Amino acid sequence: MTQLQAGAATDVGRVRQINEDRFLADELLFAVADGVGGHQAGEVASQTSVETLLRAFTEGEHTTEGLVAAVEAANSAVWHLAQGSREKRGMGTTLTALALVQEDGEEQLALTNVGDSRAYMLQQGELIQLTEDHSLVEELVRDGKLTPAEALTHPQKSIITRALGMEPVIQVDSWEITPYQGDRILLCSDGLTNELSDERIASTLRQIADPQEAAHDLVRQARASGGSDNITVVVVDVVDDGGRSGKASAALAGSKTSTKAAGAPTVATAQPDLEQTGSRLAAPPAPAPPQARRPSLAPPPAPVKAKRMTWRVVIFLVAVLAVLGSAIWAVAWYARGAYFVGIDSEQVAIFRGRPGGLLWFDPTLVERKQQPTGAELLPAQRVQLDAGHEVSSKAAADRYVNNLRQELELRRATTTTSPTSTTTTTRP
């Protein structure tokens, strides 16, 4: 029977005021969620996603399809919550989840991912990234339009292309991994991977055996390296695989014996150096055959000779980047090129942007007005300002507020002034 041991840690970082990350470390279910959206809606989205994920997976089938269905239920919960509140509209969250499931009578680790929170596996001392980021920059890297080094410093690296709560139906990536004793799975938000390299993460996971201590140390290092975002880490160890490693080793040894009996030459196998100081992971079992070890991952393709960059390719890349930049500029101009009058803390206020925001561009508060207050508005005016009255410029917004103030003063004058009548009596 497969047994797992986990540790988790999170930190707000050194720049952000609110921790919008959430994690889940249940007995059989683990997850990391990184919320996005202004007005503290990001933390609402991430909290809603992990709570719904746990409830849906607990009540549903413990299979890979069951985990995918639980992620879809979390997406639906965040979506409906965002649609029901103006302050939460546009909020979303990443979600990377790992669960121990049953597939065809065998225990497997099911992995799902939406967004740019990542999952890694440390196996035989080697760190492998299991998930693919759903982000604009990573898609450009996969298409060959950016190098991994350029992606690290790209100004748009924080833009994600897929997240829970953005659409009523979401596409969920999923994998199945056969768990072997000694395997270590890492789930993390981008607050870790933006600060620490894969080599540094791998070194820490190799050196610290306890998963809770490993999670705390990774968070500590990311904070010390800058801590520009919330940092969340979940480390899951396979401490027992029910004898699966022994069976795989026996099968591998049997195949070698058969090869020797047939007269094939013997090839010595190099063993990894396990004599390391400090707290070290126990030596992993002998590797299983590749096809049994990772049935869900395709073997790497044969190397292809790289083609030389031609001027046509350069022109095409420049044109694509120009179109992409123009589109982003157009969205930014439309989202930030207007003003509206609304209500903030029961005061009439002027905002820059569009009511409710557009994509990742949230409106910003420009000025609060002392008069009139929200309580002094007529019902029709209050409804209009709750929705946001759009104007073309700051001057137009000031004129609109002045008109509201003059109407209020006129109503006050009309209320306080009562008509007087004079009666004249004429003596005969």
Share of the chain above pLDDT 90, in %: 46
Decide if 120 is inside a domain. yes
- Asked whether the predicted pLDDT for residue 115 surpasses 80, the reply is yes
Contact 285, 292 (CB under 8 A): no
Selection from 205-219, 283-297, 355-369 with the highest mean pLDDT: 205-219
Greatest alpha-carbon pair distance for the chain in Å reads 150
Q: Are residues 9 and 125 in the same domain?
A: yes
Backbone angles phi, psi at 103, to 5 degrees: -130, 115
Residue of higher predicted confidence among 7 and 292: 7
CA distance 408 to 414: 10
Final residue in a domain of this structure, among 247, 280, 298:
247
Domain that holds residue 15: 2-247
Q: Are residues 351 and 203 in the same domain?
A: no
Give CA 314 to chain center in angstroms.
33
pLDDT at 245: 76
pLDDT at 253: 59
- Number of Cβ within 10 Å of residue 348's Cβ equals 27
Decide if 78 is inside a domain. yes
Q: How confident is the model at residue 265 (pLDDT cuts 50, 70, 90)?
A: very low
Q: How confident is the model at residue 257 (pLDDT cuts 50, 70, 90)?
A: very low
The strand ranges marked E within 137-247 are: 173-177, 184-188, 231-241
Half-sphere exposure of 419 (CA within 13 A, CB side): 1
CA distance 392 to 80: 32
- Asked whether the predicted pLDDT for residue 234 surpasses 90, the reply is yes
Total count of domains within the chain? 2
- Asked whether the predicted pLDDT for residue 421 surpasses 60, the reply is no
Decide if 136 is inside a domain. yes
pLDDT at 279: 30
Decide if 182 is inside a domain. yes
Return the ∠ at Cα 33 (arms to 36 and 55), rounded to 5°: 120
Contacts 24+ apart (CB under 8 A), 402-409: 404/348, 404/372, 404/377, 405/369, 405/371, 405/372, 408/371, 408/372, 408/376
Q: What is the mean pLDDT of the chain?
A: 81
CATH of the domain at 77: 3.60.40.10
Q: Are residues 58 and 155 in the same domain?
A: yes
Decide if 258 is inside a domain. no
pLDDT at 267: 30
Final residue in a domain of this structure, among 213, 229, 247:
247
Final residue in a domain of this structure, among 201, 223, 247:
247
Average pLDDT estimate for 31-57: 91
CA distance 239 to 242: 10
Residue of higher predicted confidence among 248 and 259: 248
Q: How confident is the model over 404-413, as pLDDT tens digits? A: 888 888 888 8
Decide if 386 is inside a domain. yes
Question: Can you say whether residue 389 is alpha, beta or left, with left for phi > 0 and alpha for psi between -120 and 50 degrees?
Answer: beta
- Asked whether the predicted pLDDT for residue 188 surpasses 60, the reply is yes
Q: How confident is the model over 73-93, as pLDDT tens digits? A: 999 999 999 998 888 888 999
Residue type, 154: H
